[in-house]
Structure 1
Amino acid sequence: MEQQLHVASGAAAQRNGLDRGECAGVTFSITELADEFGLTTRAIRFYEDKGLLTPERRGQTRVYHPRDRARLTLIVRGKNVGLALSEIKEILSLYDLHDGCETQNRVAVDKFRKRIAQLTEQRTEIDLQIRTLEESCARLEAQIEEQVKEARKSGVAAKAEAKPAKTKKPEKAIV
């Protein structure tokens, strides 16, 4: 499934059916967000502890607004593509510059390109490991085949292929 990582929090709210006018007054509980994003409430509180989310407090209750929901969308997507929380936090903090998200988007593109380079390097390493393992399997399978042929020629195969006799467990002596 193709998943895009949009940076601007306002755009995220609009994509999710909330225009700026509808955002006023819309709130979410921690449980609603946890259910929607497939997270635990503890994970959401962890993101809050790390400064990634700043929900409103009403007594002991956390109240999340569409901006928090949009930020959580970006956090989850960032984690899914392998960004560190510190990188996600840096990207999110740039939203507050109020420059039309230009700086935020530029930093995000830079981080995404670096992550693409890391993943490409990992893919190259993984491809090499797969080739090495495939070659090893082919070589070992050829050796096994040759060993079986040799064993059949020498008559050892009959012994090797015979199943060992099942031994009966000794009965416990009644004392």
Structure 2
Amino acid sequence: MSNSVAMNFAVLSETREEAAETKSYTIGDLAREFGVTLRTLRFYEDRGLLSPRREGTARIYDARDRERLSVILKGKQLGFTLTEIRAMLAEERGSNGVAANLNLSLPQVEDQIRHLEQQRAEIEEALAELRACRARLIDAA
């Protein structure tokens, strides 16, 4: 491959990366893509987790906001609170400016596993009690 062809590929690659970084999204775009409500996105904004720019009354999200939303939703899926997720995002931002992932430590992971296992035990106990109550009600009918 000649140097000019290699250089053209490099320029094209940089141009694509720049386009991805400058791509903007409306609140509706992100809501559809991530399967969340507009209210959820506004809530995350109110809590300081997302910071779209405004064009009149429209919220315009950039690639950074999109990535942060992905991380927020992953954190919620893993059972972390918004306060915990905010702290993780703040740590990530301090290290390289981009929140690419939750960047969890081993103690955080182990603590969250214990927490979720405790919740599961409590849910199983509640389900057993409700099933017993249902059986009593069916028998009484």
Aligned to 1:105: 103
Structure 1's 131 and 90: CA in aligned 2 closer, same or farther, altered over 3 A?
Answer: same
Aligned to 1:61: 58
SS in 1 for 2:54: strand
**TM-score in terms of structure 1 length:** 0.54
**Residue 130 of structure 1: CA displacement?**
6.9
Deviations 1:113-164 (A, max 9, x none): 2111112233345556778899x79xx9xxx9xxxxxxxxxxxxxxxxxxxx
Aligned to 1:75: 72
Pair 1:46 & 2:43 matched: yes
Deviations 1:21-80 (A, max 9, x none): 342321100001011111111110110000000111222221111110111111112112
Letter in 2 for 1:91: M
Pair 1:26 & 2:33 matched: no
Alignment map for 1:83-98 (pairs within 5 Å): 83-98=80-95
Unpaired runs of 5+ in structure 2?
Answer: 1-15
SS in 2 for 1:24: helix
For the pair shown, the structure with the greater C-alpha radius of gyration is 1
Letter in 1 for 2:73: V
Pair 1:120 & 2:117 matched: yes
Q: Which sits farther off after the overlay, 27-36 or 59-68?
A: 59-68
> 2 CA distance for matches of 1:125 and 1:60?
44
Letter in 2 for 1:78: G
Unpaired runs of 5+ in structure 1?
Answer: 1-18, 145-175
Structure 1's 57 and 118: CA in aligned 2 closer, same or farther, altered over 3 A?
Answer: same
Determine if contact 2:92/2:103 at 8 Å carries over to the other structure.
no
> 2 CA distance for matches of 1:88 and 1:106?
10
**TM-score in terms of structure 2 length:** 0.66
Structure 1's 117 and 27: CA in aligned 2 closer, same or farther, altered over 3 A?
Answer: same
Alpha-carbon RMSD across the aligned residues, in angstroms, is 3.0
Letter in 2 for 1:105: N
Question: Relative contact order (C-alpha < 8 Å, sep 6+): which is higher?
Answer: 1
> 2 CA distance for matches of 1:94 and 1:52?
13
